[in-house]
C-alpha cells in the first residue's frame, strides 16, 4: 500500500504541471449509477474542487470518509485518502484505485464496497473490492481471472495489426485489461464488473472489446460471462453512461500452407 500511494503522489505531482485535468469537481457518477465519485487530488489553486465527502453505507451503520491533505514532499497538491469507519471505531484506510477519478459503490447489505478509478483520459480503469469484516479490509484486486479470460477471448497476437508486445499482453493481461465496478448482485457476495481492452489503435483489431462478468467476492471466481450485447441488455440500468456495443474484433487472415 505505501508503494502504491507513493506512485500516486508522484503521478499527481507531475500531472498538475504537464496534463490538463478537469477544473470542476466531480458531481456525477462515472461508471455506476449507484456510485459516488471524487477526485484523487487537486492543485492548491483548485483545492476547492477537492472537498471532503462522507459516503454512508445503505444501513447507516458505517461510512467512507474522503479527506484531503498535502503530502510533505509535494505541498503544491492535495491528495485524497479513503477512511472506513463504523459508529464505534475506525476500521482502516484503503488506497486510491487510480490517480484521476475514483468512485465508491457500497454493496446493498453494507458489508463491502468497491473502488473504481482511472489513470488518464484514455480510460485505463481498475476496480478493487473491500470488506468491512476483514482485518485489513482486503482483498483489493479480485479481477485476475477476468483479465485472463479476456486474453483468451480476444487473443492479441491473432488480431489484425497486433500490438508489438502482444505476447506480453497474453502473458500478463491484468497489465492491459481495464475493469470497472458496475453493481452488486443481491448482497456482498457477487459483483458485476465490465472488462475492456484499451481503446487504443495500438491494440489492433481487438481494441475496445468488452465483456461483462459476475464474479464471486472475495475469490474473484467468474460466475457468469456476458458478451457486450448481453451485458448491455442486462446491466444498462446500472450504468452511469449509455453503453455502446463495440464493433466486432478483427483478426489477421490465416494463410494456408502450400502442399
Task: Specify whether 124 is located in the same domain as 1.
Answer: yes
Is 163 a member of any domain?
yes
Tell me 21's DSSP state: -
Is 87 a member of any domain?
yes
Q: SS3 of 44, please?
A: helix
Is 87 within 8 Å of 61 (Cβ atoms)? yes
Is 90 a member of any domain?
yes
Q: How confident is the model at residue 256 (pLDDT cuts 50, 70, 90)?
A: very low
The pLDDT, as a whole number, for residue 126 is 93
Encode pLDDT of 121-159 as tens digits.
Answer: 555 799 999 999 998 999 999 999 999 999 999 999 999
Is 259 a member of any domain?
no
Is 258 a member of any domain?
no
> What CA–CA distances, in Å, run from 150 to 14, 170, 210, 219?
32, 9, 8, 18
Last residue of a domain, one of 77, 111, 141: 141
- Describe the strand order of the beta sheet including 36-39 as a list of residue ranges: 36-39, 101-106, 112-118, 125-131
Task: Specify whether 12 is located in the same domain as 96.
Answer: yes
Task: Specify whether 220 is located in the same domain as 122.
Answer: no
CATH number of the domain bearing residue 227:
3.30.720
Domain range for 43 is: 1-141
Task: Specify whether 21 is located in the same domain as 116.
Answer: yes
Cell numbers for 25, please give them. Answer: 469537481
Task: Specify whether 64 is located in the same domain as 190.
Answer: no
Q: Please compute Rg for the chain using Cα positions.
A: 19
Task: Specify whether 131 is located in the same domain as 202.
Answer: no
Task: Specify whether 37 is located in the same domain as 136.
Answer: yes
Distance from first CA to last CA of the chain, Å, rounded? 58
Task: Specify whether 28 is located in the same domain as 54.
Answer: yes
Q: SS3 of 249, please?
A: coil
The pLDDT, as a whole number, for residue 259 is 30
Encode pLDDT of 98-123 as tens digits.
Answer: 988 999 999 999 999 999 999 875 55
Taking 60 as the threshold, does the pLDDT of residue 9 lie above it?
A: no
Task: Specify whether 191 is located in the same domain as 212.
Answer: yes
Is 85 a member of any domain?
yes
Last residue of a domain, one of 89, 117, 141: 141
Is 234 within 8 Å of 183 (Cβ atoms)? no
Is 157 within 8 Å of 165 (Cβ atoms)? no
- Tell me the average pLDDT across 251-257: 64
Task: Specify whether 26 is located in the same domain as 90.
Answer: yes
The pLDDT, as a whole number, for residue 83 is 97
Encode pLDDT of 69-100 as tens digits.
Answer: 999 989 999 999 999 999 889 999 999 999 88
Last residue of a domain, one of 141, 158, 173: 141
Task: Specify whether 96 is located in the same domain as 51.
Answer: yes
**How far is residue 47's CA from residue 74's CA, in Å, rounded to a whole number?**
14
Q: SS3 of 250, please?
A: coil
- Domain count within the chain: 2
Task: Specify whether 62 is located in the same domain as 168.
Answer: no
The pLDDT, as a whole number, for residue 124 is 76
Please state the φ and ψ torsions of residue 239, each to the nearest 5 degrees. -85, 140
Encode pLDDT of 183-231 as tens digits.
Answer: 999 999 999 999 999 998 889 999 999 999 999 999 999 999 999 999 9
The pLDDT, as a whole number, for residue 6 is 56
Amino acid at each position: 500500500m505505501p508503494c502504491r500511494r507513493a506512485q500516486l503522489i508522484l503521478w499527481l505531482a507531475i500531472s498538475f504541471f504537464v496534463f490538463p485535468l478537469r477544473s470542476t469537481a466531480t458531481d456525477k457518477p462515472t461508471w455506476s449509477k449507484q456510485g459516488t465519485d471524487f477526485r484523487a487530488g487537486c492543485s492548491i489553486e483548485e483545492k476547492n474542487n477537492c472537498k471532503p465527502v462522507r459516503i454512508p453505507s445503505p444501513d447507516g451503520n458505517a461510512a467512507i470518509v474522503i479527506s484531503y491533505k498535502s503530502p510533505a514532499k509535494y505541498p503544491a497538491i492535495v491528495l485524497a485518502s479513503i477512511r472506513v469507519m463504523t459508529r464505534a471505531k475506525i476500521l482502516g484506510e484503503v488506497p486510491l484505485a487510480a490517480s484521476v477519478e475514483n468512485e465508491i459503490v457500497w454493496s446493498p447489505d453494507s458489508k463491502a464496497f468497491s473502488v473504481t478509478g482511472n489513470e488518464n483520459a484514455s480510460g485505463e480503469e481498475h476496480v478493487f473490492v473491500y470488506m468491512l469484516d476483514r482485518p485489513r479490509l482486503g482483498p483489493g484486486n479480485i479481477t485476475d481471472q477476468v483479465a485472463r479470460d479476456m486474453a483468451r477471448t480476444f487473443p492479441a497476437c491473432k488480431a489484425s495489426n497486433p500490438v508489438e508486445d502482444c505476447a506480453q499482453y497474453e502473458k500478463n493481461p491484468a497489465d492491459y485489461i481495464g475493469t470497472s465496478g458496475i453493481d452488486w448482485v443481491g448482497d456482498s457476495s457477487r459483483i458485476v464488473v465490465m472488462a475492456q481492452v484499451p481503446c487504443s489503435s495500438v491494440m489492433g483489431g481487438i481494441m475496445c472489446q468488452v465483456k461483462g462478468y459476475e464474479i464471486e467476492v472475495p475469490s474473484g471466481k467468474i460466475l457468469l460471462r456476458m458478451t457486450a450485447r448481453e451485458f448491455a441488455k442486462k446491466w444498462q440500468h446500472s450504468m452511469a453512461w449509455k453503453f455502446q456495443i463495440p464493433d466486432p474484433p478483427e483478426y489477421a487472415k490465416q494463410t494456408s500452407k502450400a502442399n
